[in-house]
Amino acid sequence: MLELSNLTLAEGRVAHLDDVTVSFRKGRLTTLLGRTGAGKTTLMRAIAGLAEPDRGRIALDGKDWSRLAPWQRPVAMVTQQFINYPHLSVLDNVAFPLVRRKVPQDKAHEAARDMLGRVGLGTMIDRRPSQLSGGQQQRVAIARALVKKAPVVLLDEPFVNLDYKLREGLREELVDLLKAERETIVIYASTDPREALQMGDDVILMAEGRAIQSGEPQNVYARPGTTRAAEVVSDPPINLIGMEVSGGQLRLDRLADLPAHALGRDLPAGRYTLGLRAHSIRQGGDLSARVSLTEVSGSETVTHLQAAGQALVMLERTVTNHALGTTITLSLDLGEALVFGAQGRLIEKEPVHG
Amino acid sequence: MYRQKYIFLLPGLLVLVAIILFPLLFTIRVSFSSWDVYNPGLNWIGGENYARLWEDARYWEALTRLSVLTVGTVLLQYTLGFALALLVWRDIIARRFFRVLFLVPMMTTPVVMSVIWRTIFHESLGPLNPILDAIGIGAQPWLSQAGHAFAAVMIVEVWQWTPFMFLLLLAGLLSLPNEPFLAARIDGAGPIRTFLSVTFPMMGAISVGAILIRLIEASKLMETVYVLTSGGPGTSTETTSYYIYIRGMRDFQIGYSASLSLTYLIVMSVALTLIAKALIRLMVKDRT
């Protein structure tokens, strides 16, 4: 198990890592999910020894890494950029970590050739990285990371600079490749909640340099501990709406009064925040809203709306092109709604319908 | 219409003819004459000058000496220049100060620098021998013994031109992409392995360029020898350029020195071409 305890790293007044304590299990793919600047890359760089924490401890199976130089750490890493050695052939690129470990060259080349075959580059071993496409260059970097058989593999948004189709394909290939590595700790950084939910065995949510929640992806998605966690784990963005409860009645700020709603029955009177995922807002109903942006992605449509000064996001599982500025009517399905207390913490409840 | 382009090419062509082509052709013609201070003029003596130089041991010795000096000093300049460039490449304290400091020798006029070094090497008045004496090495016959004088010329050349090598190599290092170094750190390569497997190979093209520029420059070595040792003691530090200068400008054997110059030009052109090819094959991996 890889354990990080109280990891803190700041530059001036900006905290890139703020007292991060998390652990990663062997044979599992853990996704670090957070927006840009959340501290994912810094955390990976700290694990790899490329960034020096001000405080805290990194230990693999109880063995402290804090004093190990980067080249002494058993870590492989793939970054966002396609990082390879431009002066070496594809084969020598992949064999490099093995040659560095004084593996005989023929054996290093054999292992590299095998790994290149597995990532689909078996016919390109004599080329230079500059003669390959972006996706192929990143496969070289992935092959180089995996050929080391390092106990810890760090994947820092490896597909973010590739086009959508290629990203999907490579992601599936990578998951297949990693399944074979049963003793390996794989850490995968992503800004895309869907990717994290699809790929990861575990997920750690990060925001402002802190690890704000961890667990199995479905649990974290279903019960984000705070409004911040809900924002990080939701794509399209979750709708957070101020709410007043009094006598079982819900009053959504600027939007609607919902008399004697099931959601309000168990809540004491007071202020809350309602978390409503985009798919829980549907077209047709009593609420009117103006269309401010429509995004069509694949077979889904995400529509950004303004309703009485409250910004809302609606997800439809069809391709619908709402004209900008037009007014449409909406209904809110509170069945899967999340309720957060005054401190922004999730109030656990049984699923309700009504 | 296309004829007009020749009008624009004419000034350049004229300059080329005036400063390169004509002197070269004229030198070739002069080399087949016995033009000297007693018989100035372009008589025709066939290959007599070339036959003479073939037998001229002093010329071939000077050429051999020049080759040793050139290769030796350039290798030293490359090694030291690379080491200094690596030293101030990454973040170190007072990096800018050191970068400028290392360039100072190159900014000094070569002849002035040689005069200063002649004073330093002076066996009884110079400051070097008392220092060597004080640290127990003892005074050395810097300019009066063949081996020492040869070493003195090399020291001055290395001192003078290492900064040039440093400058080119530092520019090369600064232009290297950062990603392969990051990859090397992640792949577990320590500083020495990173230098051998990443820095040095990636510096191949710029290294070949820097070495060739210096080889071409060093093969013309003349002023240091002229000022420091005047080719002596005896002819022990005489280089080809200096020997041609003696024959042409002191003895006024214009015809003979023309044949020496042309032979020197051909030998150097062939040698440098071969060296360039060998260096490219050896050091530049990415020739695609």
* Residues A338, A224 contacting (CB under 8 angstroms): yes
B203's tokens: 């510096």
Residue B288 binned pLDDT confidence (cut-offs 50, 70, 90): very low
Amino acid symbol at A306? Q
Amino acid symbol at A67? R
The 10s digit of each residue's pLDDT in A240-293 is: 999 888 877 888 887 777 666 677 777 888 899 999 999 999 998 888 899 999
Which of 3.40.50.720, 2.40.50.140, 3.20.20.70, 3.40.50.300 would CATH assign to domain A2-224?
A: 3.40.50.300
Predicted confidence at residue B124, as pLDDT, reads 86
Q: How far apart are CA B238 and CA A95, in angstroms?
A: 51
Predicted confidence at residue B66, as pLDDT, reads 95
Does residue A338 carry a pLDDT above 50?
Answer: yes
- Cα–Cα nearest to A263, from A283, A282, A243, A281: A243
Question: What Rg do the C-alpha atoms of chain B give, in angstroms?
Answer: 23
Question: Is residue B257 classed exposed, middle or buried when 0-12, 13-18 and 19+ CB atoms within 10 A define those classes?
Answer: buried
- Cα–Cα nearest to A348, from A207, A205, A226, A228: A226
Q: What is the mean pLDDT of chain B?
A: 91
Q: How far apart are CA A195 and CA B202, in angstroms?
A: 37
Predicted confidence at residue A259, as pLDDT, reads 62
Half-sphere exposure of A260 (CA within 13 A, CB side): 0
Chain B contact probe: residue of A87, A93, A103, A155 with most B CBs at under 10 A: A87
What would the mean pLDDT of A292-308 be, rounded to a whole number? Answer: 90
Q: Find the closest chain B residue to A131 by CA distance.
A: B288
Predicted confidence at residue A183, as pLDDT, reads 85
**A150 Cα to chain B: minimum distance (Å):** 10
**A50 Cα to chain B: minimum distance (Å):** 8
What would the mean pLDDT of B178-205 be, rounded to a whole number? Answer: 90
Does residue B224 carry a pLDDT above 70?
Answer: yes
Contact A144 B187 (CB under 8 A): yes
Q: Does A76 touch chain B (CB under 8 A)?
A: yes
The beta strands (E) that lie in chain A are given as 2-11, 14-24, 29-34, 55-60, 63-64, 75-78, 152-156, 185-190, 202-207, 210-215, 239-246, 249-252, 256-258, 270-276, 281-297, 300-307, 310-316, 327-332, 338-340
Q: What percent of chain A has pLDDT over 90?
A: 54
Q: Does A152 touch chain B (CB under 8 A)?
A: no
Q: How far apart are CA A238 and CA A228, in angstroms?
A: 10
For CATH 3.40.50.300, list the domain ranges present in chain A.
2-224
Q: Does A88 touch chain B (CB under 8 A)?
A: yes
Does residue A350 carry a pLDDT above 70?
Answer: no
> Residues 197 to 256 of B: which have CB under 8 A from any A CB?
197-198, 201-202, 204
Coil, strand, or helix at residue A259? coil
Picking from A273-277, A308-312, B130-134, which range would have the lowest pLDDT averaged per residue? A308-312
Q: What's the DSSP call for residue A226? A: B
The 10s digit of each residue's pLDDT in B32-87 is: 999 988 888 889 998 999 999 999 999 999 999 999 999 999 999 999 999 999 99
Contact A131 B202 (CB under 8 A): no
- Neighboring chain B residues of A94 at a CB cutoff of 8 Å: none
- Cα–Cα nearest to A41, from A190, A149, A237, A233: A190
What is the full DSSP assignment across A162-194?
A: S-HHHHHHHHHHHHHHHHT-TT-EEEEEES-HH
Q: Hey, how many other C-beta atoms are within 10 angstroms of the C-beta on A279?
A: 16
Bridge partner residues of A204 (DSSP): A32, A214
CATH class of B56-283: mainly alpha
Does residue A89 carry a pLDDT above 80?
Answer: yes
Q: Does A126 touch chain B (CB under 8 A)?
A: no
For CATH 2.40.50.140, list the domain ranges present in chain A.
239-340
Does residue B1 carry a pLDDT above 70?
Answer: no
Give the closest of A71, A83, A131 to B190, CB-based.
A71
Predicted confidence at residue B120, as pLDDT, reads 94
Coil, strand, or helix at residue A243? strand
Contact A128 B288 (CB under 8 A): yes
Q: How far apart are CA A312 and CA A234, in angstroms?
A: 14
Q: What percent of chain B has pLDDT over 90?
A: 66
Superfamily covering domain A239-340: Nucleic acid-binding proteins (2.40.50.140)
Q: How is the beta sheet containing A310-316 ordered, strand by strand?
A: A310-316, A300-307, A281-297, A327-332
- Neighboring chain A residues of B286 at a CB cutoff of 8 Å: 86-87, 128
Does residue B287 carry a pLDDT above 60?
Answer: no
* Residues A96, A112 contacting (CB under 8 angstroms): no
Question: Is residue A333 classed exposed, middle or buried when 0-12, 13-18 and 19+ CB atoms within 10 A define those classes?
Answer: middle
- Cα–Cα nearest to B219, from B65, B103, B81, B41: B65
Q: What percent of chain B has pLDDT over 70?
A: 98
Residue B203 binned pLDDT confidence (cut-offs 50, 70, 90): very high
B252: left (phi over 0), alpha (psi -120 to 50) or beta: left
Residue A354 binned pLDDT confidence (cut-offs 50, 70, 90): very low
Q: Hey, how many other C-beta atoms are within 10 angstroms of the C-beta on B123?
A: 15
- Cα–Cα nearest to B54, from B230, B280, B260: B260
Give the closest of A76, A100, A141 to B193, CB-based.
A100
Contact A48 B180 (CB under 8 A): no
Does residue A170 carry a pLDDT above 60?
Answer: yes
Predicted confidence at residue A261, as pLDDT, reads 67
Q: Does B286 touch chain A (CB under 8 A)?
A: yes
Give the C-alpha distances (Å, rounded to integers) separating B183 from A142, B19, B244. Answer: 12, 51, 54
Picking from A155-164, B120-129, B266-275, B276-285, which range would have the lowest pLDDT averaged per residue? A155-164
Angle between helices A134-147 and B179-186 (to 10 degrees): 20
Predicted confidence at residue B209, as pLDDT, reads 94
Give the closest of B188, B197, B198 to A101, CB-based.
B188
- Cα–Cα nearest to A43, from A215, A165, A204, A169: A204
What would the mean pLDDT of B190-214 be, rounded to a whole number? Answer: 93
Residue A353 binned pLDDT confidence (cut-offs 50, 70, 90): very low
Does residue B152 carry a pLDDT above 70?
Answer: yes
